[in-house]
Structure 1
Amino acid sequence: MQAEGVLEGLDPEQRAVAEAVQGPVCVLAGAGTGKTRAITHRIAYATLTGVVSPQRVLAVTFTNRAAGELRGRLRGLGAPGVQARTFHAAALRQLSYFWPKVIGGDPPKILESKIPVVADAARTCRLSYGRTELRDLASEIEWAKVTQTRPEDYAAAVKLSGRKPPTDVVDVARVYAMYEQLRRERNLLDFEGMLELTVAVLTDHREVAAQVREQYRYFVVDEFQDVNPLQRLLLDAWLGDRDDLCVVGDPNQTIYSFTGASPDHLLDFTRDHPGAKVVKLVRDYRSTPQVVRLANGIIDQARSETSRRHKLELVAQRADGPEPLFHEYDDEVAEADDVARRARKLLDEGVLASEIAVLYRINAQSETYESALAAAGVPYVLRGAERFFERPAVREAVVRLRGAARAGADAETDGLGLILTVRHVLAGAGFTEEAPEGTGAAREKWESLAALAQLAEDMAADNPQAGLPDFVAELEERAAAQHAPTLEGVTLASLHSAKGLEWDAVFLVGLVEGTLPIIYADTPEQVEEERRLLYVGVTRAREHLGLSWALSRSPGGRRSRRPSRFLDGLTPKTATPTPARVERTKRQGRQGPQPCRVCGRPLMTAIERKLGRCEDCPVEMNEGLLLALKDWRTEISAEQRVPAYVVFTDATLQAIAERDPDTLEELAQIPGVGKVKLDKYGEAVLALSRDR
């Protein structure tokens, strides 16, 4: 490719970036404005015009996926020799190369996880923690190391930053100090140590620094708003006294300050590099004008100085699309059910499942949406989080509940009822009535256990006679039905893990005070970072965008919640004081246990309620129909690229074969055959029934 050809198709601002081949350069790039396109074309243009050879360029980003995308685009532009790596990958490569020359001996082993060493350090300090607390301690040590805080300075640094430690500050400092001691004794190197050691080698060995700086003369750093102090230290060591540096970032997408990242490196770039060229990319090619307008409105309300400096107001380039939809619900179950219904509608209209996302603030919110999507026959995949029923806290809780059911916990806790029985068992797994303060694994564990307690409340509301065995059976059925599909599905993700991604349709859910902003966002800076999280969520949507909240957590609960303050003044005027409410569809509840259709006895398990009879009751079944239904389901699941259970579960197929319906009305009476499935599959099922 010729150099001038690289510039073709760029908008004026992108072209300005590409032609600014000499540093220092600061690119302030809003969401969807083509920043990757701009910086890859800049690198290609610089190499094709002879400003720098590809081998002398180092492009640094934060994820292996992003680094791979940079390399792929550069190859297509005629610059295949450019090095595109993460900070850690670049540091490890250099450290491995120079180790024999400047240090010698056996190189340290890279720690994939701090938790085992943190556990040993805690035991040595005579402290006892569970796995979730150990994970929080490991994260806290990581924060201390990236901010260059030593163990003896940890308490003062926490106080100065307003950070909430996962446990007593003195204990954290003790474990941190012992962790470092054990790590050195065992010749281990964590990721932060890898960066520190690389900086030390470059600082203490001039010949090494000279060789690295000769090799890399041209630097590009993506997502510069996410750089932490340790990464900045390494970047400065690479640069030396040179300034051939191009940084790219968006201060409106600063959402990782809790890990030590700071937008100040981006916002203060011109102060640190006087005379730097600044280019703003504001033409949004991703989202419709309606989505862009809402995103701008969210940032316009920002109150912090960080959010106001170098303000970027996006300018939409796409054609008009639908207005963002705001929905208020009575409870979270209703919210999830309607989101699942609307996702199903999008699928029926031709939107790919992989182009739909449901985004929430905390991972513990996923369970309600997993259940709702599965019930609506919508395949889904989880990103950045374990499936709800595979989370360690949930697995432990289910084991405890199963054991309690077998031991007759209902009798042992006579009079407490299902709700209190479940809470009693969950207390043994660490559940408390009050949520723990702070962030991290302890909070996520509590939210997961609280979700189980809420499921018990839902079951008790639907069936006041339900006992612990029924609840355990319900959990096992849910776990089986929610096995992650291997095919494409609607993405369920936290707002943090959604950064850098985009979809045709996005549902932002759970937008209430206490969740967004999160309840432990105490300082104005922390609240403004929560606002930026919402901005990131909004800007993930290309065309369809839904924002919703529920006034109570559970059906029938007190409707005391209020929508997120970040939506103030942004909801449609026709929806004041709140957007039009979508009433919750009442579930098919009964005032007592469902009777067996054969013997009339109460049905006590989930599988019995699906079949409509006791498992041991004699019943005639059309075996030929059951086999035909299973073959048909296999064909449909392959054709629609969804798991078989999404079409119909085994229990539903068995119930159909037992009842052998002749009409749509009879088919609709079978549990598991809702209106959507009746409309979609009803005639096909009846045709199979008539043939047999």
Structure 2
Amino acid sequence: MTVIGHPAAEGGVTSGLDPEQLEAVLAPRGPVCVLAGAGTGKTRTITRRIAHLVDSGQVNPEQVLAVTFTARAAAEMRERLESLGVAGPGNRIAAQTFHAAAMRQLRYFWPMAMGDMRWELLEHKFRMVGRVSRELGLDVADRDLLRDLASEIEWAKSSGLGPGQYAEAARRTHRDLPADPATVAQVFSAYEAAKVAPNGDRLLDFEDLLTFTTTILRSDPSIAEEFRSRYRSFVVDEYQDVTPIQQDLLDAWLGGRDDLTVVGDANQTIYSFTGATPTYLLDFTRRYPEATLVRLQRDYRSTPEVVSLANAVIGKARGRIAGTRLKLVGQRPSGPEPVFAGFDDEIAEVVGVVAKIRSLIRTGVPASEIAVLYRVNAQSEAYEEALSEAGIDYQVRGAQSFFERPEIVAGMRRLTSLAAGAAPPPMAPVDAVRHALHSVGLTESEPKGANARARWQQLLRLMEIVESIAGESPELDFAGLVARLEERSRMRHAPVGAGVTLSSMHAAKGLEWDAVFLTGLHEGSMPLGRASKTTEEVEEERRLFYVGVTRAREHLHLSWSLSRGEGRGAKRRRSRFLEALVPNPAADLDPLPERRDPDPDVLAALTAWRKDFAESEGISAVNVMSVSMIRSIATAVPTSIDELAKVRGFGAERADVIGARILDVIDAALPGRRRGETAGRK
């Protein structure tokens, strides 16, 4: 393993780097492995490395191919490189996803390798899987079955498996199958056959793009030589997430060369179910014994308190990945301690989380800098309802992407038609765009009707994006604005909403917020019940939890509930991942000494008050207090705001809003009796 020094930074691409980042940037050409923990500046580091290689004359910009896993990440990489002056018009560095790079290469090399045989991209497997399933006598009315079959085919192909290898691999890896392995393999085989036309023409799915490009590069030396003379230096981001067929393609690109920089964090391996594996990252220095290995562990994202909890979470990891874990070192000033909150039921948890969100917003935290994260998307619905009733804007990440929504598709079609055909109205470009969108629903004032209003709000956001583009590039005419908007659409840049983000933990990877709420942290949800069959599955769930923790910059709130709904027994227990993490005693979880039974007068009075208060505020009663919470208060019979705040699930935020009223209700329910004396009786 090469050991190199730390030359002093003297401006340019090396300015403002810490010693480890500088080491990675200045490493010589050849194999370089950067183990980059969450928040350690990996994108900054790898783009500076590319810029250094170009500026120092070690490589021409057009000979660099940088690949990552999302169009958003590729776009960010291009923007960073452009800001460093090493990419842009006439000086282009290719930064693409694996699939985008393979598609471009396949379109160029296919005629050379395949002659007159033609191919088209099959963008979605669903319809083809449905067709062959129907021919095999399966229930094609079960759309979930068809989706699951398509997912299994995708996993198998990403793992480099054919139909004949599928069944055994599925059993060995404990796949959660939609049908017996033999049936899935049969559908897989029929699917592959259906993509080939009688004349030899083919439909290629996204996995085929990679495998056919790999096959062509390996089977035709002249094509391989042409490609390798073009691209000489490779950079792979998120290397812990590569699949076997992506690694095969990377090997074909390299052709035995070693001018390769990889960046990744095995602790953030959370996509094994799609075929991704950290093996290639973990084995990098074995494959390249002379590789430069750099560890980025200085966390610039999160406070030391959040970093300490993240280290504690991943410190419990088991297995091979645990042996390569990075221990983050917080670089930010100190902040609040993470908050742990247990609730009697899910409704109480949702209400408690929304109350805390409201409190943070009141203290100045922007709603757009707050995220509620959960394990599965179905958990979002309760938060959507509660946030709506609280008057707090929100956005659901992972829903239909902005540019795929019907009203936006219609608006884009209108704009591109005008840009390509008739001249736009004779007015300023932004005004011309606004005028063009009138015909698809962008009226001057908000219309009536839920559907019309939803369309108007989406088109208004499209208009805001146009205005933002025009502000950044005032020289653009109408056609230029539309072209830039189309580019934004292709790159799938979702608009940044102004509300609280609701997201699954998987969809939150790569993002960060000032305040993060990790919810539903009970057994069966974290780790997910069906993902607890093997140690490997549990460890991936632990890494997913770690990813959630490391999304928080300053405020971190972790919560769970002991039952699904009001009146149900406490059948749950908090997640095993929280063991030894929850403070003992924790202020949020330390209830008052409880009576054996609730005081019947207090119970009746609080129940009646809750109903009246909810009606006066126009909200549902459960968003005031749950039934189990009323029983807890009537059992503890608190005598002060501080005591009330300690009732399980109630919390300081709720006490601040309605605490005084509840104490008044208790006083009125106990005439002539001191609450303190009542609370002390058993």
TM (normalized to structure 2)?
0.71
Q: Equivalent of 1:274, from 282, 289, 296? A: 289
What secondary structure, in the 3-state scheme, does the structure 2 residue paired with 1:574 have? coil
Tell me which of 150, 173, 179 is aligned to 1:167.
179
Paired letter, 2:15: E
- Matched with 1:181 is 193
Deviation at 1:162, TM superposition (A): 2.1
1:192 aligned onto 2:233 = no
Deviations 1:597-634 (A, max 9, x none): xxxxxxxxx9999699xxxxxxxxxxxxxxxxxxxxxx
**1:358 is the counterpart of 2:375:** no
Task: From 288, 293, 296, give the equivalent of 2:303.
Answer: 288
* Closer/same/farther in 2, CA of residues 279 and 587 from structure 1, 3 Å limit: farther
Matched, 1:103 2:114: yes
Matches for 1:88-237 after TM superposition, within 5 Å: 88-105=99-116, 107-129=118-140, 130-185=142-197, 187-237=202-252
Q: CA deviation at 1:157?
A: 0.9
1:43, distance to aligned residue in structure 2 (A): 0.5
Deviations 1:315-340 (A, max 9, x none): 00000000000000011011111111
Find the counterpart in structure 1 of residue 96 from structure 2.
85
Aligned counterpart, 2:439: none
Task: Output the CA distance in 1 between the equivalents of 2:180 and 2:379.
Answer: 28
Q: Which one of the candidate residues 51, 54, 59 is aligned to 1:44?
A: 51
Aligned to 2:62: 55
1:312 alignment counterpart: 326
Deviations 1:47-86 (A, max 9, x none): 0000101110001000000001111111111211211000
2:269 to 254, 260, 273: 254
Deviation at 1:529, TM superposition (A): 0.5
Deviations 1:505-550 (A, max 9, x none): 0000000011111111210011000000010000000000000000
| Matching residue within 289, 292, 300 for 2:315 | 300
Is the 1:32–1:287 Cα contact (8 Å) retained in structure 2?
yes
Maintained 8 Å contact 1:21/1:51: no
Give the match for residue 630 of structure 2: none
CA contact (8 A) 2:389 2:619 kept: no
Contact 2:77 2:95 in 1 (8 A): yes
Deviation at 1:307, TM superposition (A): 2.2
1:329 alignment partner in structure 2: 343
Structure 2 CA distance for partners of 1:19 and 1:544, relative to 1, 3 Å:
same
1:361-382, Cα deviation, whole Å (9 max, x unpaired): 0011111111111111111100
Partner of 2:529: 519
Q: CA separation in 2, counterparts of 1:609 and 1:587?
A: 20
Conservation of the 8 A alpha-carbon contact between 1:327 and 1:580: no
Q: Go from structure 1 to structure 2 and tell me whether the alpha carbon gap of 1:484 and 1:553 turns closer, same or farther (over 3 Å shift).
A: farther
Give, in whole Å, the separation in 2 of the partners of 1:142 and 1:123. 19
Match in the other structure for 2:361: 347
Q: CA RMSD in A?
A: 3.3
Q: Name 1:466's counterpart in structure 2.
A: none
Contact 2:64 2:234 in 1 (8 A): yes
CA distance in 2, matches of 1:609, 1:251: 49
Q: Given the alignment, which residue of 545, 550, 555 partners 2:566?
A: 555
Q: How far apart are residue 589 of structure 1 and its match?
A: 9.9
Q: How much has 1:580 moved relative to structure 2?
A: 3.6
Bigger shift: 155-164 or 139-148?
155-164
Q: 1:229 to 1:341 in 2, by over 3 A?
A: same
Give the superposition deviation at 1:676: 11
| Cα 1:179–1:227 shift into 2, 3 Å | same
Secondary structure of 2:516's counterpart equals strand
Query: Cα deviation per residue 1:180-214 (whole Å; 9 max; x = unaligned)?
Result: 11112272110001101101110111111111111
- Paired AA for residue 184 in structure 2: V
> In the aligned structure 2, how far is the partner of 1:494 from the partner of 1:587?
39
CA–CA distance in structure 1, aligned partners of residues 262 and 23 of structure 2: 14
How has the CA–CA distance of structure 1 residues 587 and 249 changed in structure 2, closer, same or farther, with 3 Å as cutoff? farther
Structure 2 distance, partners of 1:588, 1:231, is: 65
Q: Secondary structure of 1:233's match? A: helix
2:76 match: 69
1:484 and 1:496 map into 2 onto residues whose CA distance is 28
Gaps of 5+ in 1: 392-475, 596-605, 613-673, 679-692
Find the counterpart in structure 2 of residue 372 from structure 1: 386
How many residue pairs end up in the alignment?
514
SS in 1 for 2:544: helix
Query: 2:33 pairs with 10, 26, 34, which one?
Result: 26
How far 1:575 moved relative to its partner?
A: 2.2
TM-score (ref. length: structure 1): 0.70
Q: What does the per-residue CA deviation read over 1:619-671, in whole Å, with 9 as the maximum and x for residues that have no partner?
A: xxxxxxxxxxxxxxxxxxxxxxxxxxxxxxxxxxxxxxxxxxxxxxxxxxxxx
Q: Secondary structure of the residue that 1:184 maps to in structure 2?
A: coil
Q: Helix, strand or coil for the counterpart of 1:340?
A: helix
Q: Which amino acid aligns with 2:557?
A: G
The answer on whether the counterparts of 1:381 and 1:484 sit within 8 Å (CA) in structure 2 is no
* d(CA) in 2 for partners of 1:509, 1:209: 50
Deviation at 1:350, TM superposition (A): 1.7
Matched position secondary structure for 2:365:
coil
The 8 Å contact of residues 283 and 314 in structure 1, kept in 2 or not, is answered as yes
Q: Which runs of 5+ in 2 are unaligned?
A: 1-8, 406-448, 462-496, 595-601, 621-653, 659-682
SS in 2 for 1:173: helix
Deviation at 1:342, TM superposition (A): 1.1
- For residues 129-179 of structure 1, the C-alpha deviation after alignment (integer angstroms, 9 at most, x for no partner) is 311111111110000101111111211111222222121111101110011
Q: 1:21: Cα distance to partner? A: 3.3
Match of 2:419 in 1: none
Which deviations, in whole Å up to 9, do the C-alpha atoms of 1:544-563 show, x marking residues without a partner? Answer: 00000001010111112111
Structure 1 counterpart of 2:557: 546
Contact in 2 for aligned 1:3/1:48 (Cα 8 Å): no
Q: Tell me how far apart the structure 1 counterparts of residues 151 and 10 of structure 2 sit (CA, whole Å).
A: 46
**Contact 1:511/1:549, CA 8 A, preserved across alignment:** yes
Cα distance between partner residues in 2 of 1:76 and 1:331? 50
* Counterpart code for 1:60: V
CA distance in 2, matches of 1:574, 1:145: 50
Q: Distance in 2 between matches of 1:490 and 1:567?
A: 25
Q: Distance in 1 between matches of 2:377 and 2:322?
A: 26
Structure 2 Cα separation of the partners of residues 52 and 376 of structure 1: 56
Amino acid at match of 1:356: I
In 2, the alpha carbon distance for the partners of 1:29 and 1:677 equals: 43
What amino acid sits opposite 1:147 in the alignment?
S
Asked if residue 503 in structure 1 is aligned to residue 495 in structure 2, the reply is no
Query: Helix, strand or coil: the match of 1:148?
Result: coil
Mapped to 2, the partners of 1:675 and 1:562 lie a distance apart of 26
Whole-Å separation in 1 of the counterparts to 2:101 and 2:575: 41
Aligned counterpart, 2:677: none
C-alpha distance in 1 between matches for 2:365 and 2:340: 20
Change (3 A) 1:292 1:102: same
Change (3 A) 1:611 1:75: closer
Contact 1:291 1:323 in 2 (8 A): yes
Counterparts in 2 of 1:417-436, with a 5 A limit?
none
Once the two structures are superposed, the pairs formed by residues 466-477 of structure 1 within 5 Å of their partners are: none
What does residue 620 of structure 1 align with? none
What is the aligned-residue identity percentage?
54
